[in-house]
Amino acid sequence: MQREGSPFRGVGTVALKEAADHMTSARMHLIMLLVLLTAIGAVYGAIGRIRDTTAADPYLFLKLFTVAQEPLPSFAAFLGFLLPLVAIALGFDAVNGEYSRRTMSRLLAQPIYRDAVLFGKFAGGLLVIAIALLTLWLLMIGLGILFLGLPPSLDEIVRALIWLAATLAYAGVWLALAIALSAVIRSPATSALAALSVWLILAMFWSMITPLAAGLVAPINPLDPASVLHRFEWQQGIGRLSPQTLYGEISGILLDPAARSVGPLFMWQMQGAVLGAPLPTLQSVTIVWPQICGLIAALLVLFTVAYVSFQRQEVRA
């Protein structure tokens, strides 16, 4: 049965309302304060180290994002860890919050489709994350110019922008996960807990689980050197089920022009290569293209789960 009218009617209105809600909500203020403080700390540490160690690096600016000074991790690692928290804070009660505030039936009685509600919620959340990320990114560049005393090159800006887009996709995965859980689970508190558990497992424990799991699937045979490689590949494959691993690989390649591979590299593959020479930007993007596609695919799958579950829900709770 074909329904009439556009499913996108009202998406913009819902998205702007959601974005305005997020911008003024206390939870967003708190979490952005946390992110801002850690980010400034990370960059401040990085600047100190860059000043001490690096004399002449053509990609000095990108080091701002990747260099870490103990005990603080790098800015990129920070985002990989904290961005999911931001996305979960924005999305954990997207659908079930409307039910618990008992606003759902009136919202759906407006001349819009349910699609518009879900699209709008996702777009609104992503818009807020995008604004926050862009602000942070500009802040980092500004601090870099101020403290390092030199402007970034065009190549660095392009790489940093692509990395910014990939970061947004990474945040989108977590936002889609949070919204999907909010559609499947009826209580906002439970869906928040569920999303946080997934985040803890994938961000904290996944790197501990993968060697164990890989060891079970592909045990090392001491007489067969190929089995070591075999096991490593399994470990990497399992590790990549976590978006955090994918995002880490993307950051590593995009922000370090000298990096050539995310996997094992053999001597014969390095023949003729000048060690430490930077790759063209497009080549770096090609290396992590599968990871970027993986993130977008995960986002789409999770959003589809949210969509299907929300479309089938009864309005009265």
- In the complex, the smallest distance separating the C-beta of residue 33 from other proteins, rounded to whole angstroms, is 21
- Contacting residue, 23, 28, 82, 108, with other proteins by CB under 8 A: 108
- Regarding 26 and contact with other proteins (CB under 8 A), the answer is no
Residue 196: CB minimum distance to other proteins, A: 24
Instruction: State the residue for tokens 């702007």.
Output: 16
Which C-beta is closer to other proteins: that of 9 or that of 260?
Answer: 9
Long-range pairs of 127-131 with CB within 8 A, sequence gap ≥ 24 = 127/15, 127/19, 128/19, 128/22, 128/23, 128/28, 128/90, 129/83, 129/86, 129/87, 129/90, 129/168, 129/171, 129/172, 129/175, 130/168
Beta carbon nearer to other proteins, 106 or 149: 106
Near other proteins by CB under 8 A: residue from 29, 30, 53, 110: 110
Separation CA 212–CA 210 (nearest Å): 5
Contact between 103 and other proteins by CB under 8 A: the answer reads: yes
107 binds other proteins per the rule CB under 8 A: yes
Please tell me whether residue 234 adopts helix, strand or coil conformation.
helix
Query: Cβ of residue 29: shortest distance to other proteins, in angstroms?
Result: 14
CB of 112 to other proteins, least distance (A): 6
Tokens of 129: 């994350």
Is residue 102 part of the contact set for other proteins (CB under 8 A)?
yes
Does residue 311 belong to the site contacting other proteins (CB under 8 A)? no
Nearer CB in complex with other proteins: 29/51: 29
3 binds other proteins (CB under 8 A): yes
Query: Residue 28 in contact with residue 22, Cβ under 8 Å?
Result: yes
Among 8, 21, 161, 270, binds other proteins (CB under 8 A): 21
Contact 74, 39 (CB under 8 A): no
**Rule CB under 8 A: is residue 101 a binding residue for other proteins?**
yes
In one-letter notation, the amino acid at residue 282 is: L
Q: Per CB under 8 A, does 271 bind other proteins?
A: no
Residue listed under structure tokens 């803890």: 200
Estimate the share of the chain in helix, then strand, then coil, as percent rounded to the nearest 5. 75, 0, 25
Q: If binding is defined by CB under 8 A, does position 112 make contact with other proteins?
A: yes
Q: Does the footprint of other proteins cover residue 315 (CB under 8 A)?
A: yes
Phi, psi torsion values for 96, nearest 5 degrees: -70, -20
Q: Is 9 in the site for other proteins (CB under 8 A)?
A: yes
Least distance from other proteins to the Cβ atom of residue 192, Å: 19
Distance of CA 256 to the CA centre of its chain: 18
Task: Name the site residues for other proteins (rule: CB under 8 A).
Answer: 1-5, 9-10, 13-14, 17, 21, 101-113, 314-316
